[in-house]
Amino acid sequence: MRIGELAKRAGTTTRALRFYESEGLLDAPRTPNGYREYDEHHLRLVREIQSLQAVGLSLEDTRPFVACLRAGHESGDSCPDSREVYRRKLAEVDACLERLGAVREFLLARLAFQDPCLVPEPREFQCSS
C-alpha cells in the first residue's frame, strides 16, 4: 500500500506520515521508483501513534512505543521505556489535576465573595493535553 492509502485508512494525511518518517518514527521501504511501500504493520504503528497522541503524549513520547512494536513486541506498551513514559505522564497529569483543582477553588471563591485577597501561587508549570 502506498502513502495515500495508508493516510486514508489511518485517517490522516500524507504530509503527516512523511513527517513521522522524517522524525524517524515510521520507516518504509521503497519500491524501485522511489514510492514508499507500507503494510498492515505500518498501519498498526500509525494507529499506536494516534492513540498515544490522543491522550496527550507528544510525538517524542511515542518513540519508545514504536520502538517496542518494531522490536517485535505484541503491544507497544510492554517495554520498560514505554511504561516509564506512562508513569511520567501520569505524574504530569496528577500535578495538573492538583493545580486545576486549586484554580477551581480560587475561581469559586472569587465568584462567591466579592472581596478577594486570595492570592494564588505563581504558575510553575503548564497543564496540557
Q: Applying CB under 8 A, which residues contact its own copies?
A: 50-51, 53-56, 75, 77-78, 83, 86-87, 89-90, 93-94, 96-97, 99-101, 103-104, 106-108, 110-111, 114-116, 119-123, 126-129
Q: Which does 111 bind (CB under 5 to 8 A by kind): its own copies, DNA, none?
A: its own copies
Q: Provide the 3-class DSSP secondary structure of residue 126.
A: coil
| Distance, CA of 112 to CA of 126 (rounded, Å) | 26
- In this structure, are residues 62 and 49 in contact, taking their beta carbons and an 8 Å threshold? yes
Dihedral angle computed from the Cα positions of residues 120, 121, 122 and 125, in that order, rounded to the nearest 10 degrees? -120
Interface residue list for DNA (CB under 7 A): 2-5, 7, 12-16, 18-19, 30-36, 53, 58-60
Could you report how far apart the first and last alpha carbons of the chain are, in Å?
32
Q: Which does 9 bind (CB under 5 to 8 A by kind): DNA, its own copies, none?
A: none
Q: Which does 121 bind (CB under 5 to 8 A by kind): its own copies, DNA, none?
A: its own copies
